Amino acid sequence: MYIRKEKSLKTREMNLFALNAITYNVEFSPQALLIKEFAEIWKCDKSKDKELATKELGYVFYMTDSRSTYMYILDEDERSDQIISDQDMDGWNKPTYMDAAIERYKLLSQTTSTVLLESTRGVVEKISHFLSIIDPNERDPRTNKPVFAINAITKAVSEVPKLVKALNDIESEIIKEKALKAQSGNTSVGLFDDNGL
């Protein structure tokens, strides 16, 4: 079980979930279980060791938190499959209460910065999809002209490095601010603050 003790009970100082830099396990504070949706996960695991509840809380973190090592997987179904595989949760079917916990986590951690990050990820995913379906040899049956203009293809390709750099920069800044805030006990809300998660 990966419950950690908090140094402070001030809302802005609480990090309800954190990724342990040494073990790479998701840890959560006891205060996380005061939130109805996370408490439901804990309550539904009737075992003594709460191994399933711990894995399910980790699943919530890995699916939604900007610090998750799985956020590079833009497709949520693929991300979910990878998390389930890596966390030894094979055969696990996501219970309905997990959707509420994921939505609650997203709501609690949403800031201008995280919205910007999600928007940037969305653009990168759309460009990736666009580039994957392009067939430069495809022709319009009526005019026999290329369906995709070469300049549109090259423009999309030229934008990829800029978007990837922007995505990486935003992710790095959010992670740095979270780490700095956790170390310093800073209660002010920064540009990349996550409202306590």
Q: Which residue has the higher pLDDT, 68 or 197?
A: 68
* Domain carrying residue 139: 11-184
Comparing C-alpha atoms, which of 193, 154, 155 is closest to residue 174? Answer: 193
**CA-CA distance, 105 to 120, in Å (whole number)?**
20
Helix segments in the chain, DSSP class H? 36-44, 51-64, 76-86, 96-109, 112-133, 150-184
What pLDDT score does 176 carry?
A: 73
Give a yes or no: residue 133 inside a domain.
Answer: yes
The two tokens of residue 134 are: 């392009």
pLDDT range class, residue 80, cuts 50, 70, 90: very high
Confidence of residue 8 (pLDDT cuts 50, 70, 90): very low
* Total structural domains within the chain: 1
- Compare 118 and 106 and report the one with higher pLDDT: 106
pLDDT in tens, 25-41: 888 888 889 999 999 99
Indicate the burial class of 30 (C-beta count within 10 angstroms; 0-12, 13-18, 19 or more).
Answer: exposed
- Asked whether residue 3 is domain-assigned, the answer is no
Residue 193 lies in a domain: no
Angle at Cα 129 formed by Cα 79 and Cα 135, nearest 5°? 145
Looking at the domain assignment, is residue 6 inside a domain?
no
d(CA 49, CA 125): 39
Say yes or no to pLDDT of 52 above 90. yes
The one-letter code for the residue type at 13 is: E
pLDDT of amino acid 117: 80
Q: Say if residues 14 and 27 touch (Cβ distance below 8 Å).
A: no
Q: What is the pLDDT of residues 55-65, one digit of tens each?
A: 999 999 999 98
